[in-house]
Amino acid sequence: MLAKIIEPYVGRTGGLISALRAVQAEVGYLPEETEAVAGDLFNITRAEVKGVISFYHDFTREPKGETVVRLCAAEACQAAGGRQFVSEVEKQYALKMGETSASKDITLEPVYCLGLCSCAPAAMVGGRLVGMASAAKVEKAIERVKRERVS
Protein backbone atom coordinates (compact mmCIF):
# COMPACT_ATOMS: atom_id res chain seq x y z
CA MET A 1 0.00 0.00 0.00
CA LEU A 2 2.75 2.50 0.92
CA ALA A 3 4.70 1.79 -2.28
CA LYS A 4 1.60 2.51 -4.33
CA ILE A 5 1.26 5.91 -2.62
CA ILE A 6 4.96 6.79 -2.86
CA GLU A 7 5.82 5.59 -6.40
CA PRO A 8 4.20 8.49 -8.34
CA TYR A 9 6.60 10.93 -6.63
CA VAL A 10 9.86 9.12 -7.37
CA GLY A 11 12.09 11.15 -9.69
CA ARG A 12 10.25 14.43 -9.10
CA THR A 13 11.86 17.51 -7.59
CA GLY A 14 10.86 17.50 -3.92
CA GLY A 15 9.40 14.06 -4.49
CA LEU A 16 10.28 12.63 -1.10
CA ILE A 17 8.49 15.35 0.82
CA SER A 18 5.48 15.14 -1.48
CA ALA A 19 5.45 11.36 -1.09
CA LEU A 20 5.59 11.62 2.70
CA ARG A 21 2.78 14.17 2.68
CA ALA A 22 0.72 11.85 0.48
CA VAL A 23 1.28 8.92 2.86
CA GLN A 24 0.29 11.05 5.83
CA ALA A 25 -2.81 12.32 4.03
CA GLU A 26 -3.85 8.78 3.11
CA VAL A 27 -2.92 6.90 6.29
CA GLY A 28 -3.18 9.73 8.82
CA TYR A 29 0.44 9.38 9.97
CA LEU A 30 3.75 7.93 8.77
CA PRO A 31 3.94 4.27 9.76
CA GLU A 32 7.36 2.89 10.75
CA GLU A 33 7.76 1.01 7.45
CA THR A 34 7.55 4.31 5.53
CA GLU A 35 11.30 4.82 5.96
CA ALA A 36 12.20 1.47 4.37
CA VAL A 37 9.70 1.71 1.52
CA ALA A 38 10.57 5.32 0.65
CA GLY A 39 14.30 4.63 1.00
CA ASP A 40 14.08 1.72 -1.44
CA LEU A 41 12.00 3.62 -3.98
CA PHE A 42 14.05 6.83 -3.85
CA ASN A 43 17.34 4.87 -3.61
CA ILE A 44 18.39 6.64 -0.43
CA THR A 45 19.08 5.36 3.08
CA ARG A 46 16.45 4.94 5.74
CA ALA A 47 18.44 7.46 7.80
CA GLU A 48 17.97 10.08 5.08
CA VAL A 49 14.23 9.48 5.05
CA LYS A 50 14.13 9.57 8.84
CA GLY A 51 16.07 12.85 8.78
CA VAL A 52 13.45 14.47 6.56
CA ILE A 53 10.60 13.13 8.71
CA SER A 54 12.17 14.37 11.93
CA PHE A 55 13.06 17.80 10.49
CA TYR A 56 9.51 18.79 9.55
CA HIS A 57 7.16 19.08 12.51
CA ASP A 58 4.08 18.52 10.39
CA PHE A 59 5.07 14.91 9.85
CA THR A 60 3.79 12.64 12.56
CA ARG A 61 4.66 9.08 13.53
CA GLU A 62 1.52 8.55 15.61
CA PRO A 63 -2.09 8.64 14.52
CA LYS A 64 -3.72 11.92 15.48
CA GLY A 65 -7.25 12.57 16.59
CA GLU A 66 -10.01 13.14 14.06
CA THR A 67 -9.82 16.86 14.79
CA VAL A 68 -6.42 18.46 15.30
CA VAL A 69 -6.48 21.63 17.40
CA ARG A 70 -3.35 23.73 17.10
CA LEU A 71 -2.87 26.49 19.65
CA CYS A 72 -0.34 29.20 18.93
CA ALA A 73 2.44 29.44 21.49
CA ALA A 74 4.40 32.26 19.86
CA GLU A 75 5.23 35.53 21.59
CA ALA A 76 2.39 37.65 20.17
CA CYS A 77 -0.20 35.12 21.29
CA GLN A 78 1.41 34.79 24.71
CA ALA A 79 1.32 38.58 25.07
CA ALA A 80 -2.42 38.50 24.28
CA GLY A 81 -3.27 35.95 26.95
CA GLY A 82 -2.21 32.86 25.05
CA ARG A 83 -0.94 30.98 28.07
CA GLN A 84 -4.26 31.37 29.86
CA PHE A 85 -6.08 30.42 26.65
CA VAL A 86 -4.00 27.25 26.26
CA SER A 87 -4.57 26.39 29.91
CA GLU A 88 -8.35 26.78 29.51
CA VAL A 89 -8.46 24.59 26.40
CA GLU A 90 -6.30 21.94 28.07
CA LYS A 91 -8.61 21.95 31.09
CA GLN A 92 -11.77 21.87 28.96
CA TYR A 93 -10.65 18.74 27.08
CA ALA A 94 -8.57 17.21 29.89
CA LEU A 95 -5.59 17.07 27.54
CA LYS A 96 -2.12 18.56 27.57
CA MET A 97 -0.46 19.94 24.47
CA GLY A 98 0.77 17.09 22.30
CA GLU A 99 -1.83 14.63 23.58
CA THR A 100 -4.69 12.87 21.82
CA SER A 101 -7.91 12.04 23.62
CA ALA A 102 -8.54 8.38 24.49
CA SER A 103 -11.50 8.44 22.11
CA LYS A 104 -9.15 9.64 19.34
CA ASP A 105 -11.43 12.52 18.46
CA ILE A 106 -9.17 15.46 19.43
CA THR A 107 -5.44 16.14 19.36
CA LEU A 108 -4.00 19.30 20.93
CA GLU A 109 -0.76 20.58 19.41
CA PRO A 110 1.37 23.65 19.95
CA VAL A 111 2.25 25.68 16.89
CA TYR A 112 4.70 28.54 16.70
CA CYS A 113 2.87 31.14 14.66
CA LEU A 114 -0.21 30.88 12.51
CA GLY A 115 0.28 34.32 10.97
CA LEU A 116 -2.61 35.82 12.95
CA CYS A 117 -0.55 37.92 15.34
CA SER A 118 -2.91 40.91 14.98
CA CYS A 119 -5.79 38.65 16.09
CA ALA A 120 -3.98 36.88 18.91
CA PRO A 121 -4.39 34.50 20.54
CA ALA A 122 -4.81 32.24 17.55
CA ALA A 123 -5.74 28.64 16.93
CA MET A 124 -6.29 26.29 14.03
CA VAL A 125 -9.10 23.77 14.29
CA GLY A 126 -9.39 21.13 11.60
CA GLY A 127 -7.32 23.29 9.25
CA ARG A 128 -9.34 26.47 9.81
CA LEU A 129 -7.93 29.51 11.52
CA VAL A 130 -9.54 30.99 14.62
CA GLY A 131 -8.52 34.53 15.58
CA MET A 132 -9.03 36.16 18.97
CA ALA A 133 -9.45 32.60 20.09
CA SER A 134 -11.03 31.53 23.34
CA ALA A 135 -11.91 28.13 24.73
CA ALA A 136 -15.53 28.78 23.71
CA LYS A 137 -14.53 29.64 20.12
CA VAL A 138 -12.40 26.51 19.92
CA GLU A 139 -15.32 24.42 21.18
CA LYS A 140 -17.61 25.92 18.51
CA ALA A 141 -14.99 25.32 15.83
CA ILE A 142 -14.61 21.69 16.90
CA GLU A 143 -18.39 21.19 16.75
CA ARG A 144 -18.48 22.76 13.27
CA VAL A 145 -15.73 20.42 12.05
CA LYS A 146 -17.61 17.43 13.47
CA ARG A 147 -20.87 18.51 11.79
CA GLU A 148 -19.11 18.98 8.46
CA ARG A 149 -17.52 15.55 8.77
CA VAL A 150 -20.94 13.92 9.26
CA SER A 151 -22.61 15.72 6.35
- Tell whether 119 is in a known binding site: no
49-105 residue pLDDT tens:
999 999 998 899 988 999 999 999 999 999 999 999 999 999 999 999 999 999 999
- Tell whether 117 is in a known binding site: yes
Q: What is the DSSP letter of 81?
A: T
120-149 residue pLDDT tens:
999 999 999 999 999 999 999 999 999 998
Q: 43 CB contacts (<8 Å, ≥6 apart)?
A: none
Distances (CA, A) of 67 to 52, 107, 127, 148, 150: 25, 6, 9, 11, 13
